């Protein structure tokens, strides 16, 4: 069974540009989570999607946005890139986190390393 | 305020030593879940264990064991007879309800880097 996949593996952008990161969840999983892992800061929760809707977001500015498609894959968009956006962006999926499913373990992808110059 | 605290930033041990990774959490929810994940050098996080707030039974899985104590809000992870392959960053996480929205969110600690030396 295929795991969570993310593309691209690496992405290099310059300040002010936009970045688009993609994630495909494990088959059968409807929840997709995005995290930012900057050096020394652990995992910071960005966004949670389930059934095509944004269910929760972390303390990030609106220029971090995303969406979930009918096939449950997801896209993270970062607009007006800043140097401090350089980080590893991790996507995770799980069975639905709705209806009390908060105890579902998350399965992580390999991440996209975004570098902003 | 940090809701999941992993005070140990980095730990180094010699192979075959036992090592305990600490995790202290903070929540007002009565129903919540705690997790441990391992992030090896390859970068991909791997799920290790889940505990719900109503189950304080300790768990052992091979060389891994977990001690959940609600009285001290701790969920510590012990590796017995450590091996070089255990070298990784280990994250503790909490899943709790967001009161305002009724949804849930995961909160990860900052991780503990474990180095097991041969």
What count of CB pairs under 8 Å joins A to B?
Answer: 59
Mean of pLDDT over chain B: 90
Condensed to tens digits (0 to 9), the pLDDT of residues A64-91 reads 999 999 999 999 999 999 999 999 999 9
* Cβ–Cβ contact B91 with A under 8 A: yes
Q: What's the CA gap between A64 and A57, in Å, rounded?
A: 10
Q: Enter the tokens of residue A30.
A: 């409807």
Residue contact A102–B95, C-beta within 8 A: yes
Residue contact A45–B97, C-beta within 8 A: no
Per residue, the 3-state secondary structure of A25-81, as one string, reads: CCCCCCEEEEEEECCCCCCEEEEEEECCEEEEECCCCCCEEEEECCCCCEEEEECCC
Closest Cα to residue A103, out of A35, A31, A37? A31
pLDDT over 60 (residue A34): yes
Average pLDDT rounded to a whole number, residues A12-41: 93
Residue contact B52–A103, C-beta within 8 A: yes
Phi, psi (rounded to 5 degrees) for A102: -75, -15
pLDDT over 60 (residue A116): yes
For Cα atoms A101, A94, A28, give the angle at the middle one, nearest 5 degrees.
105
pLDDT over 80 (residue B81): yes
Condensed to tens digits (0 to 9), the pLDDT of residues B83-108 reads 999 999 999 999 887 777 667 778 89
pLDDT over 60 (residue A57): yes
């Amino acid at each position: 069974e295929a795991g969570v996949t993310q593309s691209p593996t690496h992405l290099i952008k310059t300040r002010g540009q936009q970045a688009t990161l993609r994630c495909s969840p494990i088959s059968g999983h409807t929840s997709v989570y995005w995290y930012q892992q900057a050096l020394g800061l652990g995992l910071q929760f960005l966004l949670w999607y389930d059934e095509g809707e944004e269910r929760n977001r972390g303390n990030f500015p609106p220029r971090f946005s995303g969406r979930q498609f009918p096939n449950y894959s997801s896209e993270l968009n970062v607009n007006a890139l800043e140097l401090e956006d350089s980080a590893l962006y991790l996507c995770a999926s799980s069975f639905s986190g709705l209806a009390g499913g908060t105890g579902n373990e998350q399965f992580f992808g390999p991440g996209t390393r975004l570098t902003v110059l | 305020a940090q809701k999941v605290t992993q005070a140990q930033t980095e730990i180094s041990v010699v192979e075959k030593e036992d090592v305990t990774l600490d995790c202290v959490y903070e929540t007002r929810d009565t129903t919540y879940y705690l997790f441990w994940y391992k992030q090896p050098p390859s970068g991909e996080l791997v799920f290790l264990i889940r505990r719900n707030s109503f189950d304080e039974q300790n768990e052992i899985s091979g060389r891994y064991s977990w001690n959940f104590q609600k009285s001290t809000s701790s969920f510590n992870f012990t590796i017995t007879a450590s091996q070089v392959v255990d070298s990784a960053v280990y994250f503790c996480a909490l899943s709790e309800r967001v009161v305002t929205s009724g949804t849930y969110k995961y909160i990860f600690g900052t991780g503990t880097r474990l180095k097991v030396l041969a």
